[in-house]
A and B are shown apart, each in its own frame.
Chain A
Protein backbone atom coordinates (compact mmCIF):
# COMPACT_ATOMS: atom_id res chain seq x y z
CA UNK A 1 0.00 0.00 0.00
CA UNK A 2 0.89 3.67 0.00
CA UNK A 3 3.66 4.78 2.34
CA UNK A 4 3.79 8.36 3.63
CA UNK A 5 6.72 9.30 5.85
CA UNK A 6 7.57 12.28 7.99
CA UNK A 7 10.16 13.07 10.60
CA UNK A 8 8.69 12.84 14.08
CA UNK A 9 9.91 16.04 15.73
CA UNK A 10 10.91 19.60 14.84
CA UNK A 11 11.84 22.46 17.17
CA UNK A 12 12.17 26.06 16.06
CA UNK A 13 12.47 29.43 17.76
CA UNK A 14 9.59 31.86 17.67
CA UNK A 15 9.87 34.11 14.63
CA UNK A 16 11.94 31.65 12.60
CA UNK A 17 10.63 29.67 9.65
CA UNK A 18 9.61 26.04 10.05
CA UNK A 19 9.92 23.48 7.29
CA UNK A 20 8.10 20.18 7.68
CA UNK A 21 8.92 17.50 5.15
CA UNK A 22 6.99 14.54 3.81
CA UNK A 23 7.77 11.80 1.31
CA UNK A 24 5.28 9.50 -0.32
CA UNK A 25 5.44 6.52 -2.65
CA UNK A 26 2.30 6.73 -4.80
CA UNK A 27 3.14 8.66 -7.95
CA UNK A 28 -0.53 8.71 -8.97
CA UNK A 29 -1.58 10.96 -6.09
CA UNK A 30 -3.72 13.79 -7.36
CA UNK A 31 -4.14 15.89 -4.23
CA UNK A 32 -1.85 16.25 -1.24
CA UNK A 33 -2.93 17.76 2.04
CA UNK A 34 -1.53 19.22 5.23
CA UNK A 35 -3.46 18.83 8.45
CA UNK A 36 -2.80 20.36 11.87
CA UNK A 37 -3.70 18.67 15.16
CA UNK A 38 -3.68 20.72 18.34
CA UNK A 39 -3.73 19.01 21.75
CA UNK A 40 -7.05 17.37 22.53
CA UNK A 41 -8.51 18.14 19.13
CA UNK A 42 -9.10 16.44 15.82
CA UNK A 43 -7.16 17.02 12.63
CA UNK A 44 -7.87 20.33 10.94
CA UNK A 45 -7.26 20.82 7.22
CA UNK A 46 -4.62 23.53 6.77
CA UNK A 47 -4.01 23.56 3.05
CA UNK A 48 -3.72 21.33 0.01
CA UNK A 49 -2.00 21.24 -3.36
CA UNK A 50 -3.02 19.72 -6.65
CA UNK A 51 -0.41 17.44 -8.15
CA UNK A 52 0.12 19.53 -11.27
CA UNK A 53 1.31 22.45 -9.14
CA UNK A 54 4.81 23.04 -7.78
CA UNK A 55 3.97 25.60 -5.15
CA UNK A 56 1.04 27.06 -3.32
CA UNK A 57 1.14 30.01 -0.93
CA UNK A 58 -1.50 30.85 1.63
CA UNK A 59 -0.55 33.68 4.00
CA UNK A 60 2.26 32.33 6.21
CA UNK A 61 2.04 28.85 4.67
CA UNK A 62 3.96 27.73 1.58
CA UNK A 63 3.54 24.25 0.16
CA UNK A 64 6.21 22.92 -2.18
CA UNK A 65 5.73 19.79 -4.24
CA UNK A 66 8.50 17.92 -6.04
CA UNK A 67 6.55 15.30 -7.90
CA UNK A 68 9.64 13.69 -9.43
CA UNK A 69 11.10 13.00 -5.98
CA UNK A 70 7.66 12.48 -4.38
CA UNK A 71 8.53 15.10 -1.77
CA UNK A 72 6.14 17.54 -0.16
CA UNK A 73 7.01 20.28 2.28
CA UNK A 74 5.17 22.82 4.39
CA UNK A 75 6.92 26.05 5.28
CA UNK A 76 5.52 28.21 8.05
CA UNK A 77 6.92 31.73 8.01
CA UNK A 78 7.34 33.72 11.25
CA UNK A 79 6.46 30.70 13.38
CA UNK A 80 4.42 31.54 16.48
CA UNK A 81 3.86 29.60 19.71
CA UNK A 82 0.31 28.95 18.51
CA UNK A 83 1.76 26.93 15.65
CA UNK A 84 2.95 24.28 18.09
CA UNK A 85 1.01 21.16 17.08
CA UNK A 86 1.33 17.90 15.17
CA UNK A 87 1.32 18.30 11.39
CA UNK A 88 0.21 15.47 9.11
CA UNK A 89 0.64 15.18 5.39
CA UNK A 90 -1.84 13.04 3.48
CA UNK A 91 -2.37 11.93 -0.09
CA UNK A 92 -4.98 10.12 -2.11
CA UNK A 93 -3.76 7.43 -4.42
CA UNK A 94 -5.46 7.04 -7.79
CA UNK A 95 -8.58 4.99 -7.44
CA UNK A 96 -8.50 5.20 -3.64
CA UNK A 97 -11.50 6.59 -1.83
CA UNK A 98 -9.54 7.36 1.29
CA UNK A 99 -6.52 9.36 2.31
CA UNK A 100 -3.18 7.95 3.42
CA UNK A 101 -1.70 9.87 6.33
CA UNK A 102 1.89 10.26 7.40
CA UNK A 103 3.09 9.62 10.93
CA UNK A 104 2.83 13.28 11.87
CA UNK A 105 5.55 15.78 12.82
CA UNK A 106 5.36 17.35 16.26
CA UNK A 107 6.38 21.00 15.92
CA UNK A 108 7.54 22.72 19.09
CA UNK A 109 7.99 26.48 18.99
CA UNK A 110 10.40 27.82 21.59
CA UNK A 111 9.61 31.33 22.86
Chain B
Protein backbone atom coordinates (compact mmCIF):
# COMPACT_ATOMS: atom_id res chain seq x y z
CA UNK B 1 0.00 0.00 0.00
CA UNK B 2 1.18 3.50 -0.75
CA UNK B 3 1.85 5.58 2.30
CA UNK B 4 1.18 9.26 2.80
CA UNK B 5 2.61 11.14 -0.15
CA UNK B 6 3.86 14.69 0.15
CA UNK B 7 5.14 17.04 -2.51
CA UNK B 8 7.45 18.70 -3.10
CA UNK B 9 10.16 17.06 -0.96
CA UNK B 10 12.17 20.26 -0.94
CA UNK B 11 11.18 23.84 -1.62
CA UNK B 12 13.43 26.87 -1.67
CA UNK B 13 11.84 30.21 -2.36
CA UNK B 14 12.28 33.87 -1.65
CA UNK B 15 10.57 35.77 1.09
CA UNK B 16 7.18 37.10 0.08
CA UNK B 17 6.41 34.32 -2.37
CA UNK B 18 3.41 32.02 -2.05
CA UNK B 19 4.20 28.44 -1.08
CA UNK B 20 1.86 25.50 -1.53
CA UNK B 21 2.53 22.13 0.06
CA UNK B 22 0.58 19.07 -1.01
CA UNK B 23 -0.48 15.86 0.65
CA UNK B 24 -2.21 12.68 -0.42
CA UNK B 25 -3.36 10.65 2.60
CA UNK B 26 -3.66 6.89 2.76
CA UNK B 27 -6.86 5.77 1.07
CA UNK B 28 -9.64 5.14 3.56
CA UNK B 29 -8.16 7.27 6.32
CA UNK B 30 -10.66 9.73 7.73
CA UNK B 31 -8.22 12.02 9.54
CA UNK B 32 -5.51 14.21 8.08
CA UNK B 33 -2.98 16.21 10.09
CA UNK B 34 -0.47 18.92 9.21
CA UNK B 35 2.61 19.35 11.44
CA UNK B 36 5.62 21.61 11.43
CA UNK B 37 8.98 20.56 12.83
CA UNK B 38 11.81 22.90 13.78
CA UNK B 39 14.84 22.55 16.01
CA UNK B 40 13.58 25.26 18.32
CA UNK B 41 9.94 24.24 18.70
CA UNK B 42 9.97 20.54 17.91
CA UNK B 43 6.89 18.96 16.34
CA UNK B 44 3.85 21.24 16.29
CA UNK B 45 0.34 20.31 15.18
CA UNK B 46 -0.95 23.01 12.84
CA UNK B 47 -4.40 21.75 11.83
CA UNK B 48 -6.32 18.55 11.36
CA UNK B 49 -9.29 17.45 9.30
CA UNK B 50 -11.96 14.81 9.75
CA UNK B 51 -13.79 13.71 6.60
CA UNK B 52 -12.39 16.76 4.78
CA UNK B 53 -13.69 19.21 7.41
CA UNK B 54 -11.19 21.26 9.48
CA UNK B 55 -11.68 20.34 13.14
CA UNK B 56 -8.94 22.22 14.98
CA UNK B 57 -6.82 24.95 13.44
CA UNK B 58 -5.63 26.47 16.70
CA UNK B 59 -2.05 25.57 15.85
CA UNK B 60 -1.97 27.60 12.64
CA UNK B 61 0.55 30.35 13.46
CA UNK B 62 -1.16 33.24 11.73
CA UNK B 63 -3.40 34.32 8.89
CA UNK B 64 -0.63 33.82 6.37
CA UNK B 65 -1.22 30.08 6.76
CA UNK B 66 -4.24 28.33 5.30
CA UNK B 67 -5.13 24.71 4.69
CA UNK B 68 -7.76 23.04 2.58
CA UNK B 69 -8.98 19.53 1.93
CA UNK B 70 -11.20 19.63 -1.16
CA UNK B 71 -11.64 15.87 -1.23
CA UNK B 72 -10.69 12.74 0.69
CA UNK B 73 -7.49 12.19 -1.27
CA UNK B 74 -5.89 15.63 -1.32
CA UNK B 75 -4.95 18.45 1.01
CA UNK B 76 -2.90 21.62 0.68
CA UNK B 77 -1.12 23.87 3.13
CA UNK B 78 -0.50 27.35 1.78
CA UNK B 79 1.70 30.14 3.11
CA UNK B 80 1.19 33.58 1.63
CA UNK B 81 3.31 35.64 1.93
CA UNK B 82 6.15 33.44 3.14
CA UNK B 83 8.76 34.64 5.64
CA UNK B 84 12.19 33.26 6.62
CA UNK B 85 10.83 32.13 10.01
CA UNK B 86 8.50 29.74 8.16
CA UNK B 87 11.52 27.63 7.22
CA UNK B 88 10.91 24.16 8.66
CA UNK B 89 10.00 20.63 7.74
CA UNK B 90 6.26 20.25 7.20
CA UNK B 91 4.72 16.83 7.70
CA UNK B 92 1.36 15.48 6.71
CA UNK B 93 -0.07 12.44 8.50
CA UNK B 94 -3.28 10.47 8.25
CA UNK B 95 -5.07 8.01 10.50
CA UNK B 96 -8.03 5.73 10.01
CA UNK B 97 -9.99 6.99 12.99
CA UNK B 98 -9.89 9.53 15.75
CA UNK B 99 -10.53 7.43 18.85
CA UNK B 100 -9.15 4.26 20.31
CA UNK B 101 -6.20 2.81 18.48
CA UNK B 102 -5.38 5.66 16.12
CA UNK B 103 -1.81 5.42 14.87
CA UNK B 104 -0.87 8.25 12.57
CA UNK B 105 1.06 7.47 9.42
CA UNK B 106 3.46 10.18 8.36
CA UNK B 107 4.70 11.28 4.98
CA UNK B 108 8.39 12.00 4.43
CA UNK B 109 7.84 15.73 4.78
CA UNK B 110 8.54 18.87 2.78
CA UNK B 111 11.71 20.70 3.73
CA UNK B 112 10.92 24.37 3.21
CA UNK B 113 13.57 27.08 3.09
CA UNK B 114 12.55 30.72 2.79
CA UNK B 115 15.43 32.99 1.83
Interface residues of A (CB under 8 A from B): 30-31, 33, 35, 40-45, 48, 50, 88, 92, 97-99, 101, 103-104
B107 interfacial by beta-carbon distance below 8 Å: yes
Of all chain B residues, the one with the shortest Cβ separation from A103 is: B42
Decide: A98 and B48 in contact? CB cutoff 8 A: yes
Where chain B touches its partner, the secondary structure class is strand
Select B103's contact among A41, A45, A98, beta carbons within 8 Å: A45
B70 interfacial by beta-carbon distance below 8 Å: no
Q: Which of B31, B43, B98, B99 has the most CB of A within 10 A?
A: B43
Decide: B106 and A98 in contact? CB cutoff 8 A: no
Please give the number of chain B residues whose Cβ is less than 8 angstroms from any Cβ of chain A in the complex: 24
Q: A41-B108, A42-B107, A88-B43 are in contact. List 7 more A-B contacts (CB 8 A).
A: A41-B109, A42-B108, A45-B103, A97-B50, A98-B33, A99-B102, A101-B42
In the complex, number of A-B residue pairs with CB atoms less than 8 Å apart: 53
Interface residues of B (CB under 8 A from A): 4, 31, 33, 42-43, 45, 48, 50, 55-56, 91, 93, 98-109
* A residues near B55, Cβ cutoff 8 Å: 97
